[in-house]
Amino acid sequence: MTLRYGTNPHQQARVIDGSGDHLRVLRGSASMINYLDALNAWQLVADARRAAGRAAAASFKHVSPAGAALDGPLDDTMRESWGLGTARLGSLAAAYVRARDADPRSSYGDMVAVSEPVDDELAEMLATVVSDGIIAPGYAPGTVAKLARKKKGRFLVLEIDPAYRPPSTEIRTVFGVAIEQDRDDRPITADLLDAVDGSALTAASTTDALLGIITARFTQSNTVVFVRDGMTVGVGAGQQSRVDCTQLAGAKARTWWTRRHHSIRSLALPADLPRQQRLNWQIALAADTLTATQHDELAHLLLRSGVAIEDLEPATRSHRLSGLTMVSDGYLPFRDNVDVAAEHGVAVIVEPAGALHGDTIVRACREHDIALVRTNRRMFHH
């Protein structure tokens, strides 16, 4: 099957094997990255569904999740950001809102994956956001037609057979060299979680730990994932230094939390500003990353609502985020990772173990009153 293009538009691409009945293209046309995002995202939500017993959703961009979440409650910021009002959402739509809200700037133009068949509620919600496609184990009557209207008919709709199990080995060819390895298909269960130091995990922190491990399993390494209440709030992916992953995940989690401050939520932007632009301004302000040009542009936008940018109340960081679970796909080599985690409100660290100076990690966790959990299983993904 010929794809729209490969990694880049100037590269042709085709599916040469594995395009059997377990994966069907119902609408749209796929690029190679669409396929990579969809297939990795499906594995993530399927694993999360098995581990937690709840509906799961993921928002994928460039072969890593921008966010992943289980069904759960929606806070006021989520409801305001996605125009949900006070209506109660079903489990599937709620899981996706929680996944997309983790990093809505990165989720722009995402590949969506959900663990359950798409219902009318989710289809209607997806009609209001910018996405490239979706992969799901089924679709309620009429939902494919609704989704097919997105992107002038180019929105990709994939259906996966949830009973399909791939071969036990996988092959990658790079520069004329073909490499075969065993597929990483070991189950992710609570049995992996060995509490080395600190209090035993609660049921909620166990679920967060499992979701973090599963998310890391399908995120480009090195990676660190911050999880809270059954949803990722910070994913630091694809960094060469592990502490850079920790800092990136922590910065994203802090931005997610600061978006909940009333000064960000009540930002007096023009009513006619599109949702994504509104979110981008809120994120830039929450992350404190405005450039000089952006500062001037935001000042102009606020003046349209009669507000001077100098009069904005600072989005205080004193209401510190807490109760986070941090998962690392590889062992923590130095205590700087623990120190950074503590600054961002991490209460539980989950890592594979194996560092030469692993005892310093134990001591650092004890100093910061962080529970340390080791899995003895690395989760690299490339």
The residue with tokens 């999880």 is 227
213 phi and psi angles, rounded to 5 deg: -65, -45
> Does the active-site annotation cover 222?
yes
Tokens representing 96? 């996706």
CA distance 279 to 256: 11
Residue 40, preceding bond cis, omega within 30 degrees? no
Q: Tell me whether residue 290 is exposed, middle or buried, using C-beta atoms within 10 angstroms of its C-beta: 0 to 12, 13 to 18, 19 or more.
A: middle
Q: Which of 34, 40, 61, 252 is catalytic?
A: 61
Catalytic residue among 62, 151, 280, 368: 62
Check 34, 40, 222, 337 and give the catalytic one.
Answer: 222
The tokens for 136 are: 């799901």
Rounded to an integer, what distance in angstroms lies between the CA atom of residue 340 and that of residue 328?
13
Helix (H) or strand (E) holding 50: helix 32-52
Q: Among this protein's residues, is 61 annotated catalytic?
A: yes
Cα separation, 278 vs 345, in Å, equals 27
User: Residue 193 in contact with residue 375, Cβ under 8 Å?
Assistant: yes
Choose among 54, 57, 34: nearest CA to 121: 57
Residue 382 appears among annotated catalytic residues: yes
Residue 151 is a catalytic residue? no
Contact 212, 327 (CB under 8 A): yes
Q: 10 Å Cβ neighbour count for 297?
A: 13
Residue 166 one-letter amino acid: P
* Catalytically annotated residues: 61-62, 222, 382
